[in-house]
Each structure stands twice: as structure tokens, then as C-alpha cells.
Structure 1
Amino acid sequence: MNLGSSLEIRQTRTLAMTAQLRQAIGMLQFNNAELRAFVAREVQKNPLLEMRLAGGAGPGDGARSAASGRAPDTPGPGVRMDMAGAIPAAPASLVEHVARQIGIAIRDPRRRRIAFAFLEALEPYGWLGRDVGGIAAGCGCTPAEAEEVLSVLQGFEPAGLFARSLEECLRLQAQDQDVLDAVLSAMLARLDLVAQGDLELLAEFCGCAVADVAARLKILRGFDPKPGAAFGGDAQPLRAPDLILSEGANGWRVELNASTLPEVVVREDMVRDRDLRDAFVAEALATARSLKRAIEQRNANTLAVAAEIVRRQGAYLEDPAAHLVPLSLRDVAGAVSLHESTVSRITTGMTIDTPRGLMELRGFFCRGLPGAGEEGAVPVTLIRGRIAEMIRAEAPARPLSDEGITALLRREGIEIQRRTVAKYRAMMGIPGSSARRRTGRARPAP
């Protein structure tokens, strides 16, 4: 073996995470209030920075806006450059995750207000932290009405949210996975025996073989007793919208809310040429300019993403009876030439005032199932609406089972499973066929 040394020249390209780049990436996920707080802190550190609020300025007075059919005006070359694409996006918080589902599943304003009251009582690990009676009293509704809204919330993903006990949390997950039978139900009623691990005593209580209990115990161990713990972030207080949607002669117009958006002014008039010889002054000026550019980039990208989302979901905004069309982060990212993680950052926690009320940008994204839709996919919201229509049209004495609804949907070209039908039915607060047969009617969907 011959050992020796050699000299090679290699050319590599890497993305350097400078302080300015980290700052620009961080500001992508700021809502207007968070951005204003951040700029206020920077102003305290930098004498060459000044923050102003545009107040009620309109589009002609410096308020930033974009038409939904075209990209917004960019503040300068390079502003739309996507430098954050290679950085993983921060996960949505539990509150944001649930709020998006409320926006999609609950249309009635009164029920939506009750749903958000439940959301305020949601513990970080996913359980309900207050009793239903107290929440109902705070909302000025009956406990029965609050229970109806709670049944919708308990159908949200991940399964087990809004449970009032460990038993209910595990039972919701068993229902979601369609594995809740008589044996498992009996075991959930005696979790004290499950904790003891006495399979023979459990088998005697459940009236089955030990092998049956062991099989269900394996299923139970796969459930998550704290379904909300996987989410990060804290609950966000109610606040003014970050974006405002209005309809003009040329279609929808998206604007950044000038009343909450900070404007950064670099006080270049305070700097003389000889002052730049001072290291502190030179650094302060460079930092101020960098912050201004980063905010302009954040605003331009936010408008571009929001305008594209509005363009895609225009029918939903125009017609109260319309449903969201299937839309993903990838769809929007490709249209505005940004990375998916950048779009994820921008839409997380960003709110917009629409004709349908205050919504999160994330609320416009919608999954689809394989079917005969225009783009080969049928939006989930449309499928839920179709399920509700079928149930409303059923004969009270012969209500449709989940299997029957599944078969009808498949005849319409929608590939769906029975458990998915059961899940969507529960999310709308509609009881099962046996309960509907007893009452003679379906509970109205929210």
C-alpha cells in the first residue's frame, strides 16, 4: 500500500445562514401584530430606525395590495427570491390546527362561537379543561346545544381531541379506527382493570376469552392518551385581521391591513458621510436597511400567496353554497414560485377578513378524494355536503347506513371508505342510522 498526499480543488455551493437570512425567514411567519412587536424591539436598539403605522391609508397612499388574478407589485429586484425553501417549516400549533377545522366544518355563526369557546378551554395535551355546563353558560346556550357542538369537535383530527376523560379519549380513537366492539367498549369502562394487567379478570368482566382481551389490549396500546401533545405553539388571542379582502370592479382585491402593519423608515438623513467611518453607525445603517428589505420581501410574498389562494377559491368566496376546491401548499407554491415551506410559514397564523367572516389562510386549503371531479379529485367539503343531502332525503323509517351512503357515493364516482363516511357524518353532528331510526329524523348539520 502506497500512502501519499495530493492537492485537489473543489467547487461547492452552500446556503450560508447569515443573521440577515435568519431574520428574513423568521419574519415570514409573523402576523402583523407579531411583526409590529418585533420592529418595536428593533427600534429600541437602532437609532437609525423609525416605525410608523399607516393608519387608514388606502391603496393609493402606500397601503400594499394585490389583485387576486395577478401577482402584486414587487418593491424591488430580488424581493421575491425564495431563500427559505431548504429550511423546514414550523408545525402549526394545536389551536391553529383546530381553528382551521372549525372554519371548514361549522358554518353557522352561533355554533361557531360555541366551538371557539370550547377551543379556549382546550388543554395543550388535547383534553377539554372545563365542564360543558360552564361553557354553555358562558356562551348563553343550552347544555344540549353545547353538547351537539362538542360532538362535532370530537370528530376532528387527530382523534381523541376534546375528550373529558381518558376513557372518552381512547373511545374516540377506537371509533375513528372502526375497532370499537363490545369487548373493547367493556374494557374502556374498566380502565382500572386494564392498568392492573389482569387479563383473566378482564376476560371474566367482558364475558370473553383471554385471547380476545389480549388482542384488544394490543389495540389500546397503539392509541395516544394525549393527542394534542404533538403540536407546538401557544394559543393566539383574537386580533384584527392581517389581510383584508374586498370585491371591486376588476374582481377580488387583497390588501395588507394598514392599521396593524408597521412601516419601517430608515433615517438616512441623520447620517453624514463622515459618520460612516464609525463602526457603530455603519453597522446600524446596514442593519436598518436589511430590516426594511426583509419586511418588504415578507409583505410582497404574503400578498402573492394570499392573492393566489383567493384566485383558486374565488367560487367559495362568491357563493355561500359553494365548497372549497382541493388545494395544497404545493399548488400555491408552484404558482407563485416559492417553496412549500415558505408558503407554509406565510399561511400559518395569518388571518384574512372575507365575506364569509374572519378566516385563517390555512383554512382555504382543502384535501380531496379520488373521484370524478374537474381535476380528478373531489373536495372533502363537497363530500360532507353530499352526505348531509343524502341523509336529509332518506326515509325516516329506513335511514341510510354508513355502508349504504358509501355505496351511493361510489356510484357517483367518489372513492371513499365506510369509516370515512362515518367520520364525516360525526363531524357534522349527525347521529348514526340506528339513532335516526329511533328519533325519526336527523339532527341538522351545523
Structure 2
Amino acid sequence: MSLSPRLMMRQSQSLVMTPQLMQAIKLLQLSSLDLENYVSQEIESNPLLERAEADGPIGADGGTATAESAAPEAADWLQHDLPESRAALETDMGADLVNMFPDEPAAQPSGDSYVASSWAGLGAGADDMDASLESLPGAELSLPEHLEAQLGLATTDPAVRMIGRGVIDCIDEAGYFRDDPALLAERLGVTREEIVHALRMVQGFDPCGVGARDLRECLAIQLRERNRLDPAMERFLEHLDLVARRDLPALRRLCEVDNDDLHEMIAEIRRLNPKPGLLVGGGHVQTVIPDVLVRAAPDGSWLIELNTETLPRVLVNQTYYARISQHPMAPGEKAFLAECLQNANWLTRSLEQRARTVLKVASEIVRQQDGFLRHGVHRLRPMNLRAVADAIGMHESTVSRVTSNKYIATPRGLYELKYFFTAAISATGHQESHSAEAVRHRIRQMIDREPPASVLSDDAIVQSLRDNGVDIARRTVAKYRESMGIPSSVQRRREKVASA
């Protein structure tokens, strides 16, 4: 066979990642808060996008999306027949992307002036000023601002104030001074003694214990404030490693106290705050809002629906587009307006398709974890992304994006969708595998119920689990126990004896 250049014609299929497809993929993995921010930015940059009114239609038929509308057999966008020219794309993740955006263009409205996404997350409009000013949270001082306010009252010397601000800048959010006084003195052009003097002044500020260089000094400052820093307590603080190991006999010898005094000292230490800086500032806690709601139906099944509060709803103002397009425009202006219309239509479709995909994945998770919803964590089944993806005809990467940063409210509580995906642990005999999360729950229950006189070792836990049909190794039990913050049997025995 000779090697020579030749011209050949070849027909092939490929998946092109258009900006619209990339936008759809991005929307899938956004949390409800990030999605709201993204839509707000799109509305600001696109003059054809507007927020829907609060009393607008929820869906194309005026109803709320439920699990029935997201079932695999439903005649929705997930079941569009693909043209033959695109059939080769029905592999892996490409199938999900093609199904999300069929060839047919979005139908234009015949009578209405607005094209709306059919999922009504009711967001507050820019002109919504009904909320009173009293309902708005007040500005909370951060830890540096709180300390600087006290610095202004503690001294009037400008030089000391300058050094004190330098010390405060080196205090982390937990309240600890995390710099070397000598290096800070070199940066500020002062002596080390001046830095130490300013640091001691800051250590007298509120909250008590702020400005400490380590845990021992933090606890000593708080004990000194309570007039409890005697020589025995100072020796106690010098051997905090023995406290962590619960080595009470060694502590009694070093502190030269009896058993009752030692227990009193430990109780005194427990009442202190090891991170005093967290008492100030920290911001407001953001409440988690579920994306999917699950409740029991009268017939014993589960009703699954999307939380409309997390679904931003936007409108495409066709009237404004028609009015502007009637005027003569430059080529650049006409291209900009056409791009805005295209982006607006794609965004409304992407939001609807995102909602359907989330509901479809959540419905399959609820179906497979029915035992957990009815009986609790011990009935949680092992499940992976492939099991859900195969059941609903999607790719694993699509399911992974859908379950990221999204929460589901169930009768058992509020859970992240990722919570239900756990590894499988083999069972003895020919029984069904156990979920790793369910096994961790069993281990915690066994340790919580153990009597002080008979603390369970890891080997005893392994034997008990195997008697109940769980084939697990000792190192796995130790790994699960440590991941839950449970100390070893030796440390638990010491704690139970000390608290007895």
C-alpha cells in the first residue's frame, strides 16, 4: 500500500458546546442563592428581561410542578424525538444536552406580550419597598472594629494607638494574636517592648481572652479575670496535653491536688471559651431553603414538588422588543437587540429545564430511599450516581450537577441531596448491602448506649455488627468512629470515670 496525499470526504457527528449549552450546564449546579444572583445579573444586563409579577401564572397550565410531570414517561422536553442527523449524539453526557435543547425553536407567543418561564419562583422586585426599615438587620461590628473602639477609650496617645491598631490587625477571627512581636516591631519601626505593652493592653479588652498567643494564655487571661489563676491552676494549664489524654493520675501529681479538686479544675476550664473572638461579629447565619419538598400523600405514597420560592421567574418583554425593532437602527444596535432576545429566550427555557431536571432526579432519589423516609437512617440504602442516572436515562455528570448545593425537605428533616449517596458495605450471608451512613448511625447508637463499666472496643463493635449482618473490618469501624469525632475506648473509659 503506497503512502500518498489524497482528498477524502467523511461524515461525522460531534457535540458543539455553544454558549447556551454552557449556560444550561452552569445553571444545573448552581444553588438557589447563586441562581437568584445569576438571574439578577442577567436582568440588569438584558433590557428585554423582567421579573414576573407575584400573581402571575405558575405554569403553562397554571399548576405547580409535581413529581408526576417529571416522570420518565411524561411527554416533556426530556422525551423529544431526535432527528436522525443527531442520533449519534445519544451517548454519555451528550444525550442529556441534546435532549435539553431540541432543534425546534421556541414557539413565539401569539397573543400575549410576555414569554415567561413556567416555574414561578417569586423573587422580590427592585421596586418592592414594602418591607419596613425596622425589619432590616442592623450592621454588626466586626472583631477588629470592636477592639479599635475600645482602643480609643483605653489611650489617647497617638503612638500607642498606632501600635495598638497594628496589634489588632494581627488578631484572627478566633481572637488569637498570630504574629511574632519582634517582626511586628520591625514592620512598625518600634521596639519589641512597645509591642508587648500594646498587646497586654489589648488582652484586657472585651471579649475576655482576646489577644492571646496560644490556648494556655487565652485560658489564663480568663481565669485571671475570674481570680482563679492560682499556682495549681497554672501548673494545670502547662500540661493541657494530659487533659486531652485524660491522664488524671499524672495531673493530680503535677498539680498536687486531690481528686475532687482536680475535677473542679476541669469543670472550671470547661466553662471558659477557647475562641473568644467568635463572640463578636461573625455575620448573620444564612438559613438553608430547600429546593424540593416531600410530604406524605393520603394513599401512602410521597408527594414531591419544587419549592417555588427558590425558582426565579423571568419574563421576556416582547412588546418592548416589537416597539424598539420598528425604529431604524444601526447594524450594531440591531445585532445587540437580536442577541438580547436570543439570550432572554434561552434563559427562560434553561430555567424551566433546570427545574424539571431537579424534580426528576429528586423523585428518583425519593423512590429509591423510601425505607429511609418511612423508618429512619438505619434503613438508608446504598446508592451511587450511576443507579439514579440509569433509572432516569441521564448521564452521571448531569445527576452530580443536579445534586450539588441543593437540599430536600422531608418528614425526617432537611438534607442535602448528596447525603443520600453513600457507599455500600457488604452483608454477611446473601443479604442486601448496607449503607455506610446507616452503619455509622449504628456505631454511634451503640457507643451512646454503652455502660461506663463496659466500654465497647472497636473489636467488640465489629463483632456486634457482624452478628447483625454487617460484614465490616476493624479499621473501617475506627475510621467511621474518628470521622464522627468519637474518641477511642480508652479515652471514653477515662471520661466516664471522671464524670462519674
- Give the TM-score range, shorter chain: 0.5 to 0.7
Cα pair 2:458 2:474 within 8 Å, conserved: yes
Deviation for aligned residue 1:302: 0.5
Where do residues 131-142 of structure 1 align in structure 2 (5 Å cutoff)? none
Q: How does 1:253-402 map to 2 (within 5 A)?
A: 253-272=303-322, 275=325, 278-320=334-376, 322-372=378-428, 376-388=432-444, 390-391=446-447, 396-402=452-458
Task: Give the distance between the partners of 1:39 and 1:273, measured in 2 at CA.
Answer: 24
Contact 1:53–1:259 (8 Å) recurs in 2: no
Q: Distance in 1 between matches of 2:341 and 2:69?
A: 36
Q: Do 1:246 and 1:354's aligned partners in 2 also have CA atoms closer than 8 Å? A: yes
Per-residue CA shift, 1:293-321, capped at 9, x if unaligned? Answer: 21111111010011111121222223346
- 1:434 is displaced (CA, Å) by 2.8
Paired residues of 2:452 and 2:493 also in contact (CA < 8 A): yes
Match of 1:187 in 2: none
Measure how far apart 1:22 and its partner are: 0.8
Secondary structure in 2 aligned to 1:259?
helix
Amino acid at match of 2:4: G
Q: Which residue of 1 aligns with 2:51?
A: 51
Q: How much has 1:342 moved relative to structure 2?
A: 0.8
Shift of 1:288: 1.8
Output aligned runs, 1:132-211, within 5 Å. none
Task: Give the partner amino acid of 1:327.
Answer: M
Instruction: State the partner residue of 1:241.
Output: 290
TM-fit CA distance, 1:271: 4.2
Bigger radius of gyration: 2
What residue identity is the alignment partner of 1:433? S
Question: In 2, distance between residues paired with 1:256 and 1:377?
Answer: 31
Q: Shift of the alpha carbon at 1:240?
A: 2.4
What code does the residue aligned with 1:287 have? N
Q: Which has the higher contact order (CA 8 A, sep 6+)?
A: 1
CA distance in 2, matches of 1:348, 1:341: 11
The 1-side partners of 2:69 and 2:336 are apart by 43
Q: Percent identity?
A: 39
**Higher mean Cα deviation, 344-353 or 76-85?**
76-85
1:240–1:252 CA distance, 2 compared to 1 (3 A):
same
* Partners of 2:373 and 2:58 in 1: CA distance: 23
- What does residue 37 of structure 1 align with? 37
Aligned length: 306
SS at 2:310 equivalent = coil
CA offsets, 1:399-442, max 9 Å, x none? 43212322343354433221211222344454433344456689
- The one-letter code sitting in structure 2 at the alignment partner of 1:14 is S
- CA drift of 1:6 comes to 0.9
* 1:61-100 correspondence to structure 2 within 5 Å: 61-67=62-68, 70-71=71-72, 75-76=76-77, 85=93
* 1:419 maps to which of 452, 456, 475: 475
More deviation in 403-412 or 271-280? 271-280
Query: What letter corresponds to residue 432 of structure 1 in structure 2?
Result: S
Write the distance in 2 (CA, Å) between the matches of 1:54 and 1:247. 28
The superposition leaves residues 164-223 of structure 1 with CA deviations (integer Å, 9 ceiling, x where unpaired) of xxxxxxxxxxxxxxxxxxxxxxxxxxxxxxxxxxxxxxxxxxxxxxxxxxxxxxxxxxxx
Once superposed, what is the RMSD of the aligned Cα atoms?
4.4
SS of aligned partner of 1:327 = coil
Partner-residue secondary structure (3-state), 1:415: coil
TM-score of the two chains, using structure 2 as the length reference? 0.51
Query: Does the 8 Å contact 2:431/2:469 carry over to 1?
Result: no
Aligned residue identity for 2:25: I
Q: Distance in 1 between matches of 2:429 and 2:320?
A: 61
Residue in structure 1 matching 2:302, options 204, 228, 252:
252
Distance 1:309 1:436, change over 3 A: same
Q: 1:130, CA displacement in angstroms? A: 3.5
Deviation string for 1:382-415 (max 9, x for gaps)? Answer: 3234334555676654443212322343354433
